């Protein structure tokens, strides 16, 4: 039989069997309404929602429904609150977040702590009494001093805020439903969820009666035309690096090799006081995965299993420390003939991010979506940021921060765009028998100052996909990882900086067995990732180390507890057997570069070493300069490509 369902999104037709129960009908309706779960859908017989159908185990026939009957559906509080959230919904928000308030349609969505905090804020912007226009007393208000909403156009223009914050945008949408102030409570059952991710793909399970795509398509299942324009909001407003040493250690690789570097940003999200209801990403560490050694770009295999496993190991350590992946960073530097200066190549007349970098950023944002209980699919946009280290107009090294718009994420998810040979242009793919490409347009102002709509095929400027962010450093730095003796950074075999047990032994012995010094030694993200990769310490020991790093007030007591743990004692016994010849002297030299790096001229290429450096590196594994394979110290030729060492 056919049951008609009317919802705020329109009319749906669900095919049901004669023996189907109401629960089975709800399961078929869930993907059609983009509901987070069947329990979030409420079916009623009338428009007012008074006669609710809650007999989930009864058949449709026993409820008196027949072919062609109409029911009314809304996404509302769960009809069966005893049902637990699914694993996919529980993992949507990541590490140390807490569930949203129960009782609403988004009660199973786990969102960021900062989102829950901002929902409790009324978001109003307090204004002082205007001495020129306010004619009332001190205890009264008028139109010139009444608090304004965070999305007020006049306030944003006056303070030169190009993109309003995400929560300001959310308040603007909710104001249309007369919802203002504190929104931390349950989602009202009488309104549809206001947020929904863009989707430029053909809708599956079309109920119009035609064959599924690609055999058939209709106006209901085909995506509408896409018009690219500036996104009015941004998910993250500011990127704050906890310490300048984080950037300096990344730049030390380029200063030593003239080669570019890529890394993941690990940190947390917090409130930004510079923007109403703003969010900032605080970066505590940069993890550098395995990558190529290139002077003019970055070479990484983001879809490989080894790459995913490596990032998961770093994620586990970050979660223990209360951190998560907040973005990525890469360098694009080229020295000039003038000492200490770099080429200024990214500007308004060229490009800010290349089309290839934009597609990588969109891919990462899709991989790390932002969980929101106000979204119909349980997530909306992404808080993943992209930072680029390049030269500015003065020839100095500077950082720029960006995000890709929700339209860029939708274009990437639908596989509609591909990078072009021109860095500032993104190409739109041609339609095929299995790929439906909607019409894509973008707007610009011509030489007569008139708005013009142009076809985005075959290519369009990448600026239509970008959202710029601010960045900076705190006035009083208090980084989480503040080890006095930085550990060797991972995957720098080209510089003969290899993480070994001997280097681990020397790093731990620098604490001299004191709990207070051990707490400082442990405050190094690269050291913790390598320590966890040895699989000597158990999950409880790694969690305890994370508490030592997070809780500086009780770090000494927690360090004493770690010294008495069985996992740490096992590690100590293994390190006693580690040979002193395993010490990585070249890595120590690399650490000296990290500590004393400046913005001066880059160092010489590591392939040209003096005799002392060569003899120091002879006792450690060496990386082939032709194929980068790491060979045994006793071999004079590469085991992979058979080329000589020197």
Instruction: Give the separation between CA 337 and CA 184, rounded to whole angstroms.
Output: 57
Among residues 201, 190, 193, 204, which one has the least CA distance to residue 36? 193
DSSP string covering 216-235, please? ---TTTSPPPEEE---SEES
> For residue 615, what pLDDT band results from cuts at 50, 70 and 90?
very low
Q: What is the pLDDT of residue 97?
A: 47
Q: What is the pLDDT of residue 104?
A: 42
Residue 135 pLDDT greater than 50, yes or no:
yes
Among residues 621, 343, 332, 296, which one has the least CA distance to residue 488? 621
> For residue 600, what pLDDT band results from cuts at 50, 70 and 90?
very low
Q: What is the pLDDT of residue 455?
A: 94
Residues 297-331, buried b or exposed e (16+ Cβ, 10 A)?
ebeeeeeeeeeeebbebbbbbbbbbbbbbbbbbbb
Q: What is the pLDDT of residue 11?
A: 85
- Residues ≥6 apart with Cβ < 8 Å to 2: 13, 14, 15, 16, 67, 68
Provide mean pLDDT across the span 274-297: 94
Instruction: Give the separation between CA 570 and CA 563, rounded to whole angstroms.
Output: 10
Q: What is the pLDDT of residue 392?
A: 94
Cα 124 versus chain centre, distance: 28
Q: What percent of the chain has pLDDT over 70?
A: 87
Instruction: Give the separation between CA 553 and CA 330, rounded to whole angstroms.
Output: 34
Residue 589 pLDDT greater than 60, yes or no:
no
> For residue 10, what pLDDT band results from cuts at 50, 70 and 90?
confident
Instruction: Say which DSSP state 450 is in.
Output: -
Q: What is the pLDDT of residue 260?
A: 95
> What are the tokens at 406?
């929700």
Q: What pLDDT, in 10s, does the model give residues 457-468?
A: 999 999 999 999
Q: What pLDDT, in 10s, does the model give residues 157-211?
A: 988 899 999 999 999 999 888 888 888 877 777 678 899 999 999 988 888 888 8
pTM over 0.95? The answer is no
Among residues 101, 75, 78, 100, which one has the least CA distance to residue 192? 75
Instruction: Say which DSSP state 465 is in.
Output: G
Q: What is the pLDDT of residue 129?
A: 84
> SS3 for 12?
strand
Q: What is the pLDDT of residue 344?
A: 95
Mean pLDDT over each residue of the chain, to the nearest integer: 84
How many CB atoms are closer than 10 A to CB 236? 26
> For residue 48, what pLDDT band results from cuts at 50, 70 and 90?
low
Q: What is the pLDDT of residue 103?
A: 39
Q: What pLDDT, in 10s, does the model give residues 497-521?
A: 889 888 899 999 888 878 889 999 9
| Minimum mean pLDDT range among 82-96, 318-332, 348-362, 582-596 | 82-96
Residue 625 pLDDT greater than 60, yes or no:
yes
> For residue 305, what pLDDT band results from cuts at 50, 70 and 90?
very high
């Amino acid at each position: 039989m056919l049951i008609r369902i009317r919802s705020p999104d329109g009319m749906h037709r669900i095919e049901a069997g004669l023996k189907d129960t109401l629960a089975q009908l709800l399961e078929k309706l869930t993907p059609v309404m983009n509901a987070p779960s069947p329990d979030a859908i409420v079916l009623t017989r009338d428009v007012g929602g008074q006669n609710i159908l809650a007999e989930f185990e009864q058949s449709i026939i026993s409820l008196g429904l027949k072919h062609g009957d109409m029911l009314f559906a809304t996404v509302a509080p769960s009809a069966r609150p005893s049902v637990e959230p699914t694993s996919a919904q529980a993992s949507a928000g990541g590490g140390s977040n807490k569930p949203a308030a129960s009782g609403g349609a988004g009660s199973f969505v786990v969102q960021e702590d900062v989102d829950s905090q901002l929902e409790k804020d009324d978001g109003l912007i307090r204004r002082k009494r205007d001495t020129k226009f306010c004619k009332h007393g001190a205890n009264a208000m008028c139109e010139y001093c009444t608090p304004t909403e965070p999305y007020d156009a006049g306030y944003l223009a006056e303070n030169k805020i190009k993109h309003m914050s995400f929560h300001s945008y959310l308040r603007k949408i909710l104001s249309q439903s007369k919802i203002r102030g504190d929104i931390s409570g349950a989602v009202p059952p009488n309104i549809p969820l206001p947020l929904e991710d863009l989707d430029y793909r053909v809708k599956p399970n079309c109920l119009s009666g035609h064959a599924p795509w690609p055999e058939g398509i209709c106006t209901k299942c085909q995506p509408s035309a896409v018009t690219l324009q500036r996104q009015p909001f941004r998910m993250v407003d500011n990127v704050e690096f906890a310490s300048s040493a984080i950037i300096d250690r990344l730049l030390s690789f380029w200063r030593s090799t003239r080669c570019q570097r890529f890394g993941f940003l690990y940190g947390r999200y917090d409130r930004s006081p510079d923007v109403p209801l703003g969010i900032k990403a605080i970066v505590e560490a940069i993890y550098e995965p395995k990558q190529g050694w290139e002077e003019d770009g970055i070479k990484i295999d983001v879809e490989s299993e080894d790459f995913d496993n490596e990032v998961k190991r770093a994620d586990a350590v970050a979660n223990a420390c209360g951190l998560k992946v907040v973005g990525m960073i890469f360098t694009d530097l080229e020295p000039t003939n003038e000492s200490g200066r770099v080429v200024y190549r990214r500007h308004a007349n060229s490009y800010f991010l290349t089309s290839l970098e934009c597609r990588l950023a969109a891919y990462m944002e899709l991989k790390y979506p932002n969980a929101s209980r106000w979204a119909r699919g349980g997530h909306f946009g992404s808080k993943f940021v992209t930072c680029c280290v390049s030269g500015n107009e003065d020839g100095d090294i500077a950082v720029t921060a960006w995000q890709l718009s929700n339209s860029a994420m939708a274009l990437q998810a639908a596989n509609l765009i591909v990078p072009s040979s021109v860095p500032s242009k993104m190409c739109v793919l041609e339609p095929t028998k299995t790929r439906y490409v909607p019409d894509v347009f973008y707007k610009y102002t011509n030489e007569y100052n008139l708005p013009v709509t142009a076809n985005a095929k075959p290519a369009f400027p990448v600026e239509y996909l970008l959202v710029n962010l601010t960045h900076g450093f705190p006035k009083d730095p208090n980084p989480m990882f503040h080890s006095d003796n930085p550990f060797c950074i991972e995957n720098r075999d080209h510089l003969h900086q290899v993480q070994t047990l001997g280097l681990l032994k020397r790093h731990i012995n620098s604490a001299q067995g004191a709990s207070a010094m051990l707490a400082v030694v442990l405050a190094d993200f690269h050291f913790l990732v390598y320590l966890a990769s040895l699989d000597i310490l158990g999950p409880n020991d790694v969690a305890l180390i994370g508490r030592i790093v997070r809780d500086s007030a009780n770090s000494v007591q927690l360090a004493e507890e770690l010294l008495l743990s069985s996992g740490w004692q096992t590690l100590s016994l293994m390190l006693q057997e580690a040979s002193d010849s395993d010490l990585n002297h070249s890595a120590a030299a690399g650490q000296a570069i990290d500590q004393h790096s400046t913005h001066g001229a880059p160092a010489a290429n590591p392939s040209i070493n003096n005799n002392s450096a060569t003899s120091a590196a002879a006792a450690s594994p060496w990386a082939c300069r032709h194929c980068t394979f790491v060979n045994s110290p006793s071999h004079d030729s590469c085991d992979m490509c058979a080329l000589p060492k020197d």
